[in-house]
């Protein structure tokens, strides 16, 4: 019997869904993307109406798989969802407030629509679970590390999909740059993550659409001290008001910035491109050299000018092959969901 998996991919700016027939390689039956600029629990219930309309003439799913951005300190392996998993996911919302609550709302909405159907959590952090200590440990007192403060890494399902697609063509030293609304760069040695640009949360590393990426922590201290910003205001600044949107004063959408003639839009683009090159160079250092760089994600796959800028910025790296491959997170979700049921 062919399994039918509904993959739900809740991101920071969209909700992707795909219904897959899985008997070997997953086959997409129907799928789509719902833009979600304002996300809350009520929205996710409404989104399920849209998804069910799209699925009406297709087989009923036998399992539902969810992309979960942050598994927290206790969840680093894809697994069936039960009460204990939900409790850990609720606690992990402290690490990923942009994504965690929306994912939980989606799980509860799916449970209400498909009572008793198995649901599977596919953690973006799982791919990075075995980071070496030199990459995983953050430079803070050990007392805080005990509560789970460390580097987790994200876009793991995207990285898994690139490793799977490369197959026997995968080199031992691979860098994957997932460039979308969120962006990260990962060093992969012999198929395993050994370093990555994002840290405790999905806010660090590469400058992103609305997120700062890496920033001098003194900037936040200054703004707290001199501008009176509290924790909530700093969180909004770091995750929603910065990055390319903050620099340009226009948008974090690369398509909008490319179409603009404003100097600040051009600056935001150049800063993003430089940030990707710098993070890639850091991952090359962790690998001791690199044989291939894969660009993926919405910008990585579709914005040719960004690709050209990265090729030029990394032209000094000897023997570096640069490829563009699609991020197939939903396929990974479908594969894991079926494997765990």
Cβ neighbours of 80 (radius 10 Å): 13
Dig out the tokens for 109 from the structure: 């909405």
Flag whether 325 is marked binding: no
Q: CA torsion 210→212→213→217, rounded to 10°?
A: -160
Dig out the tokens for 126 from the structure: 């799982």
- The number of angstroms, rounded, from the C-alpha of 40 to the middle of its chain's C-alpha atoms is 19
Q: Is 216 a catalytic residue?
A: no
Flag whether 9 is marked binding: yes
- The number of angstroms, rounded, from the C-alpha of 309 to the middle of its chain's C-alpha atoms is 22
H or E element that contains 33: strand 25-35
Flag whether 67 is marked binding: yes
Flag whether 278 is marked binding: no
Flag whether 182 is marked binding: yes
Q: Is 19 helix (H, G, I), strand (E, B) or coil?
A: strand
Flag whether 173 is marked binding: no
**Are 297 and 307 in contact, with CB atoms under 8 Å apart?**
no
Flag whether 181 is marked binding: yes
* CA–CA gap between residue 58 and residue 52 (Å, rounded): 10
Flag whether 300 is marked binding: yes
**Residue of 43, 124, 195, 239 marked catalytic:** 124
Residues in Cβ contact with 13 at an 8 Å cutoff, skipping those fewer than 6 apart = 35, 36, 37, 181, 209
Flag whether 34 is marked binding: no
Among 23, 240, 18, 2, CA closest to 122: 18
Flag whether 320 is marked binding: no
Flag whether 301 is marked binding: yes
Q: Which residues are annotated as part of the binding site for Mg(2+)?
A: 9, 329
Q: Which residues are annotated as part of the binding site for substrate?
A: 67
Which residues are part of the catalytic machinery?
A: 124
Q: Which residues are annotated as part of the binding site?
A: 9, 16, 67, 178-182, 253-255, 298-302, 329
Q: Which residues are annotated as part of the binding site for ATP?
A: 16, 178-182, 253-255, 298-302
């Amino acid at each position: 019997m062919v399994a039918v998996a509904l993959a739900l991919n809740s991101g920071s700016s969209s909700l992707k869904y795909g219904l897959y027939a899985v008997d070997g390689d997953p086959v997409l039956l129907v799928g789509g993307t719902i833009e979600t600029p304002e996300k809350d629990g009520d929205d996710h219930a409404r989104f399920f109406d849209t998804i069910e309309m799209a699925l009406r003439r297709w087989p009923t799913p036998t399992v539902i798989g969810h992309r979960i951005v942050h598994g927290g300190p206790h969840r680093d392996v894809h697994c069936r969802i039960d009460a204990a998993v939900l409790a850990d996911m609720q606690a992990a919302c402290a690490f990923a407030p942009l994504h965690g609550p929306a994912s939980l709302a989606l799980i509860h909405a799916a449970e209400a629509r498909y009572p008793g159907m198995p649901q599977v959590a596919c953690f973006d952090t799982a791919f990075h679970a075995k980071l070496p200590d030199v990459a995983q440990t953050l430079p803070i007192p050990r007392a805080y590390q005990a509560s789970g403060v460390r580097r987790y890494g994200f876009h793991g399902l995207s990285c898994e999909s690139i490793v799977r697609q490369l197959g026997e063509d995968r080199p031992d030293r691979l860098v994957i740059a997932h460039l979308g609304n969120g962006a990260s760069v990962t060093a992969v040695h012999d198929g395993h993550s050994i370093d990555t640009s994002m840290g405790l949360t999905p806010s660090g590393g590469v400058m992103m659409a609305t997120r700062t990426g890496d920033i001098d922590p003194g900037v936040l201290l200054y703004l707290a001290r001199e501008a009176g910003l509290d924790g909530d205001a700093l969180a909004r600044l770091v995750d929603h008001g910065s990055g390319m949107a903050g620099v340009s004063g226009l948008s974090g959408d690369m398509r909008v910035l490319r179409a603009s003639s404003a100097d600040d839009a051009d600056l935001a683009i150049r800063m993003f491109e430089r940030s990707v090159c710098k993070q890639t160079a850091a991952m090359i250092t962790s690998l001791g050299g690199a044989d291939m760089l894969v660009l993926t994600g919405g910008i990585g796959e579709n914005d040719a000018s960004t690709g050209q800028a990265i090729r030029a910025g990394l032209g000094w790296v000897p023997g570096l092959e640069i490829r563009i491959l699609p991020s197939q997170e939903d396929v990974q979700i479908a594969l894991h969901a079926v494997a765990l049921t």
